[in-house]
Structure 1
């Protein structure tokens, strides 16, 4: 169970998140986090993993998320990746296993098999030795997903995984996310494209600094919930 109680976040003099309360069973489910620019969507994800210091509490199966980070995988926006770092696709992907096998350890046969499987299913084989600075947006996003899937987690948090990528890459990634759902994982995905809501998500959190609606994706797209979320006061904090 993921339980968030009275979570509040301030960045500088801006109160970015107001009294966030969520109780979400950990089972096979894909949940979208949607709202206008500056609504606090990315900030909510970063608060859950402790990157932003919020007040209130966030627990996973009765323990703090900070004590459960091995059970949580976070995939940041690809725009936050340092593309100047000299590393190839294979080494980025395999680095996702280090929280299990440890740094500076030999890669086990099981880890190597997992690497090869992900390189195949995410169509990265031909890119194995290419530098990440040479990748397209869709290719880079597939690499980040492959890296995340090198370890087995309970919860996967994805921040705008489909921004600036091609349709083919989006479909490849979505297939992998649905497989995680079928394996009983909980996925929370920050997303902005309302047209994909009912296709991609089981439930949706509509967020505009506070939670305006949390429920099934069909109901979330009803005008009364969208208006309550998107037609509020002007929001200018693009970092939220």
Structure 2
């Protein structure tokens, strides 16, 4: 049973999930899930196999829901599918299909998908996460942590209404973890944007609007 705990009074809803059904197999992992994701940072927690990544993929429609409705203040899915996807950031760079692509090529491709992309913020994040010197390297030349930072840098610079981050702190150095948490703690005060962070446990030193336990 999904448990959603709000940690801030009178939260502003950024993403409305209505009767969402779907999962990675023919048997739905989620059935008729309805909840409101508030502005700020929400943490999705659960054990291995609980469905953390699958839920993020469903919210991004990277994994197509079998039924249900998803709505931000700007667009709904499935009625405005393309506009909705421009408002929700999701990127998975773990697949070998990305191995020969350079960091800069990844960022350039993602920039085209998100109308509110912030190049100045990308540059700031690239420096803070020590990624500036890796721009022209292929992804298969990077460590697991640096490869993850390619995604995180893009996610935080995307300007998306809803940003989905799957285990963003895995394999990262402490300096990068602190930089990302600092950004997210500032983001916690946004009134019209949401960041959804999936991890096994609630990350420490992170200001949260809500916790979703699977």
Is structure 2 residue 107 aligned with structure 1 residue 93? yes
Contact 1:33–1:191, Cα closer than 8 Å, also in 2:
yes
Rounded to whole Å, the distance in 1 between the matches of 2:147 and 2:23 is 32
Rounded to whole Å, the distance in 2 between the matches of 1:41 and 1:118 is 26
Once the two structures are TM-superposed, the CA of residue 21 in structure 1 deviates from its matched residue by 1.1
Greater RCO between the two (CA within 8 Å, min separation 6)?
Answer: 2
Rounded to whole Å, the distance in 1 between the matches of 2:161 and 2:98 is 29
Q: Rg: which structure is higher?
A: 1
Once the two structures are TM-superposed, the CA of residue 4 in structure 1 deviates from its matched residue by 0.9
Contact 2:99–2:138, Cα closer than 8 Å, also in 1:
no
- Number of the residue aligned with 2:195: 187
- Number of the residue aligned with 2:11: none
* Greater per-residue helix proportion: 1
Once the two structures are TM-superposed, the CA of residue 92 in structure 1 deviates from its matched residue by 2.4
Contact 2:42–2:211, Cα closer than 8 Å, also in 1:
yes
Distance 1:129 1:56, change over 3 A: closer
- Number of the residue aligned with 1:175: 182
5 Å matches for 1:177-216?
Answer: 177-184=184-191, 185-194=193-202, 196=203, 199=206, 201-207=208-214
Once the two structures are TM-superposed, the CA of residue 183 in structure 1 deviates from its matched residue by 4.1
Rounded to whole Å, the distance in 1 between the matches of 2:160 and 2:168 is 18
Once the two structures are TM-superposed, the CA of residue 71 in structure 1 deviates from its matched residue by 1.6
TM-score normalised by structure 2 residue count: 0.76
Contact 2:22–2:29, Cα closer than 8 Å, also in 1:
yes
Rounded to whole Å, the distance in 1 between the matches of 2:53 and 2:19 is 17
- Number of the residue aligned with 2:42: 31
- Number of the residue aligned with 1:79: 94
- Number of the residue aligned with 1:126: 133
Once the two structures are TM-superposed, the CA of residue 206 in structure 1 deviates from its matched residue by 0.4
Once the two structures are TM-superposed, the CA of residue 125 in structure 1 deviates from its matched residue by 2.1
Stretches of structure 1 lacking an aligned partner (at least 5 in a row): 102-109, 208-240
Stretches of structure 2 lacking an aligned partner (at least 5 in a row): 1-13
Distance 1:128 1:11, change over 3 A: closer
SS at the partner of 2:125?
helix
Deviations 1:195-232 (A, max 9, x none): x257453321001xxxxxxxxxxxxxxxxxxxxxxxxx
Distance 1:165 1:21, change over 3 A: same
Aligned length: 193
- Number of the residue aligned with 1:143: 150
- Alpha carbon RMSD of aligned pairs, Å? 2.6
Rounded to whole Å, the distance in 2 between the matches of 1:30 and 1:41 is 15
Give the alignment partner of residue 169 of structure 2, picking from 157, 162, 175. 162
SS at the partner of 1:42?
helix
